[in-house]
A = this chain, B = another copy of it.
Amino acid sequence: MGRRSSHTAGELRELILEASTALISEGGLASLSAREVARRIGYSPGTLYNVFENLDDLVLTIEGRLIDGLAEELDKVPMTTSPTEQARALGRAYLKYTSEKPKLWNLLFEHHLPAGRSPPAWYQQKIDGLMQRVEAVVAPLMPESDPADVARSAQVLWAGVHGITSLATADKLSVVKCDGAGPLVDLLVEAYLAGLKSAKQG
């Protein structure tokens, strides 16, 4: 049929991303299919491949937006309180963001590139950006420690919060009830940071 021109290239791209995001939000990565996206936006399957290299490319783009969205939420956390309070707020923000659209966030863990391929450089940069936000909060709590120790402590804190939210939103590993995850995040942040302090003093 040839050019349709009812949408600009940018609009078409947005249409595809919106439809894909909606599908994943409802049923996870397994519900995403190029043909279903094409159906929903009224184009043929081939059109997706004019805009994205393939489904992996499309999914990576969505993942990038998810990470950006979390970074924005973390930036809203006020930095005027005590470091421990900041860390708790950071953890709560992570929990809130990821449990509001759990299937979408789960995309970061469900989706794997084919064997040899590694994620693009911008992807790792976005992840690093998240980590830096955590380090900035942990650093004041460890004034005597070198940067490598601060980085490790931040990684552990981050991973711990991730672990709680991951198990809370998992449908099969419900060692944690989703409603009760908030207090668990608080407990982790408080006990872990208290332990860090006492170790440094002792």
Binding site for B on A (CB under 8 A): 27-28, 30, 63, 108-113, 115, 118-119, 123-124, 127, 130-131, 152-153, 155-156, 158-164, 166-167, 170-176, 180, 183-184, 187-188, 190-196, 198-199
Contact = CB atoms under 8 A, between A and B. Distances in A.
Q: How many copies does the complex hold?
A: 2
Contacts of A166: 109, 159, 162-163, 166
Contacts of A153: 187, 191
Main secondary structure of the interface of A (DSSP, over half): helix
A188 B194 contact: no
Nearest to A26: B115
Nearest to A60: B172
B159 A109 contact: no
A151 to B, nearest CB: 10
A63 B170 CA distance: 14
Contact of A155 (B110, B176, B192): B176
B155 A159 contact: no
